[in-house]
Amino acid sequence: MTDPLLEVRNLRKYFFERDSFLDRLLGDDPVAVKAVDGLNFEIERGETLGLVGESGCGKSTAGETVLRLQEATEGKVYFDGSNVYEMDTTELQEFRRRAAIVFQDPFSSLDPRMTIGETVRQPLDVHDWPPGDDHDRSKRERRTERVRDLLNRVGLSGDQFDRYPHEFSGGQRQRIGIARALALNPDFVVLDEPTSALDVSVQAQILNLLDDLQSEFGLTYLLVSHDLSVIRHICDRVAVMYLGEIVEVGPSRSLFSDPQHPYTKALLESVPRVDVGERERDVDTLSGEVPSPRNPPTGCRFRTRCPSVIPPEDVDIEQDEFRTVQTVRDRIRNRDVDLSGTKEFLETDETDDLADRIVDTMLDLEEAALSEPHRSRVREALSVALEDEWEEAEKSLAAYESVCEDVTPALQERQDHRAACHLLDQPAGVEDTVTDSGFTPRQGDD
């Protein structure tokens, strides 16, 4: 097998908030938003890799950082063997020729004041295409001819050269975006939600077009999308992202038919099927929402929503009870129990009584039950919290500490692909390498 076209190693992209001069003067620490936090993957020549996940998981940032449209905070991206972040101007220019991007929104990504011919020709102008001198014909003529060919190839007509974007439908504008991306004959194209703004009948046309272009020009794609069906349809391999990390990666077939990570399972289950039996299909919906990337959960980032989070071995507790206890622990840890509001609502002043009633109300809301001794312990912890003894409260529930919150799981090989979850046996010593994603470093690195 040949080397992959693209190799991504430990890629991080953090955005810093509160990072202005004044903030530093005032001594406020910058807050890191960990949009992409330690990605490792590679893309073979001619294949399509899908990056899938919900909004805020970092998939689009990953796509742009790989192309060096944004600088990485850390990590390496090897394109055909050389590190994109260490390229000099000439190398970078060559990289820009060989790697292109198609954006989601065909409405805002085209300059309304440029004719579509100019739009598609722009990269040719910037790169002074074609290289070398051909005295017979001017470069201008050759560029115009190239643009016409491209427009024809993507299903538009070369005659539309002089028209403006507003004269085109969404699907046509996306074709223009694709023609522009292909202008310099790239090897690699990042497709960032290329069909999300389109109607489904038009989406199908564009997906078929992308498919044809890939075989015709031997393109390698990185498809960034939130749409699992689209990903399934066109990707050879898929990486599932959650809060800046890859939780599962592998060939589409095995990943979709035999998902190993609880998040992937939930994601797949959530997609409504176009099928008459869909109403009867049981869907265990994930509870809660994605936590903030400013302060991601420790250990496994999915644990706050995970239906299978693992209780400590020596605690005898049902799964849903355990999740309730975890919720309380997280709330106490984040000092997120609204005491005065609850007091007011329950119209009581007696702290003693209050802890009981909070537990009742909470269990009621969560439609959960807690058996003994867990209920008493939670009640105990809450009454300590009510006295403002947060740390005490935290400690009193320490026995419930899960491996999922302590240790970041590493990607493990299962069923032909890799997933990062403690339910899959973890390698010895994983505790020491909590940020390592289980990848053997590239030969010759550092």
Partner 1 sequence: MTEDILKISDLSTRFFTSEGQVNAVERISLNVGEGEVFGIVGESGSGKSVTALSIVDLVESPGQITSGSIEYRNAELADALEADYPDAVDGEFVDVLSVPESVRRSLRGPSFSMIFQDPESSFNPSVTVGEQIAEAVEVQRRARADPRSTRARTQGVEYSLSGYLTSALLPSKRFVTTESKERAIELLEMVGIPDPVKRAEEYPHQYSGGMLQRAMIAQALAGEPDVLIADEPTTALDVTIQAQVLDILSELQREVGMTILLITHDLGVVARMCDRVGVMYAGEIVEQGTLADIFEENVHPYTAGLLGSVPVLDDVGGRLRPIEGNVPSLLDSEMGGGCYFADRCPKAMEECLRKPRTFDGPGSDDHVSMCYLADHPYEEGEALSDEHFESTGGDDR
The distance of closest approach from Cβ of residue 345 to partner 1 in the complex, given in angstroms and rounded to an integer, is: 5
Task: List the one residue out of 260, 256, 265 whose CA is nearest residue 284.
Answer: 265
Q: Containing H/E element for 242? A: strand 237-242
400-439 footprint of ligand SF4 as x/- string (CB under 6 A)? ----x----x-----------xxx----------------
Residue 189, CB-side half-sphere exposure with 13 Å CA sphere: 24
- Cα separation, 278 vs 37, whole angstroms: 36
Partner from ligand SF4, partner 1, none binding residue 270, C-beta < 5-8 Å depending on class: partner 1
Pinpoint the alpha helices (H) of 106-191. Answer: 116-126, 139-153, 170-182
Report whether the peptide linkage leading into residue 131 is cis, meaning its omega lies within 30 degrees of zero.
no
Residue 402, CB-side half-sphere exposure with 13 Å CA sphere: 30
Query: Residues 23 to 52: which contact partner 1 by CB under 8 A?
Result: none
Residues whose CB is less than 8 angstroms from the CB of residue 445 and which lie 6 or more positions away in sequence, other chains included: 9, 76
What is the sign, positive or negative, of the torsion defined by CA atoms of 244, 248, 250, 253?
Answer: negative
Strand partners, 166: none
- Cα separation, 353 vs 331, whole angstroms: 20
* Tokens 């190398």 -> residue: 91
Nearer to ligand SF4, 146 or 301 (CB): 301
Nearer to ligand SF4, 332 or 404 (CB): 404
Sole window of 130-138, 179-187, 206-214, 404-412 interacting with partner 1 (rule: CB under 8 A): 206-214
Nearer to partner 1, 275 or 314 (CB): 275
78, 443 contact by CB (below 8 A): no
Partner from partner 1, ligand SF4, none binding residue 266, C-beta < 5-8 Å depending on class: partner 1
Sole window of 66-74, 173-181, 304-312, 355-363 interacting with ligand SF4 (rule: CB under 6 A): 304-312
Task: List the one residue out of 240, 169, 249 whose CA is nearest residue 206.
Answer: 169
Partner from partner 1, ligand SF4, none binding residue 423, C-beta < 5-8 Å depending on class: ligand SF4
Question: Does residue 306 belong to the site contacting ligand SF4 (CB under 6 A)?
Answer: yes
Partner from ligand SF4, partner 1, none binding residue 125, C-beta < 5-8 Å depending on class: none
Question: Does residue 320 belong to the site contacting partner 1 (CB under 8 A)?
Answer: no
DSSP strand pairing (245-251 vs 417-420): antiparallel
**Chosen residue from 254, 298, 308, 415 binding ligand SF4 by CB under 6 A:** 308
Encoding tokens for residue 163? 């028209």
Question: Does residue 33 belong to the site contacting ligand SF4 (CB under 6 A)?
Answer: no
Sole window of 193-201, 274-282, 302-310, 431-439 interacting with ligand SF4 (rule: CB under 6 A): 302-310
Sole window of 25-33, 58-66, 270-278, 434-442 interacting with partner 1 (rule: CB under 8 A): 270-278
Q: Where along the sequence are the contacts to partner 1 (CB under 8 A)?
A: 54-55, 155-156, 169, 171-172, 199-205, 207-208, 211, 226, 228-230, 232-234, 253, 256, 266-276, 278-279, 283, 285-290, 338, 341-342, 345, 365
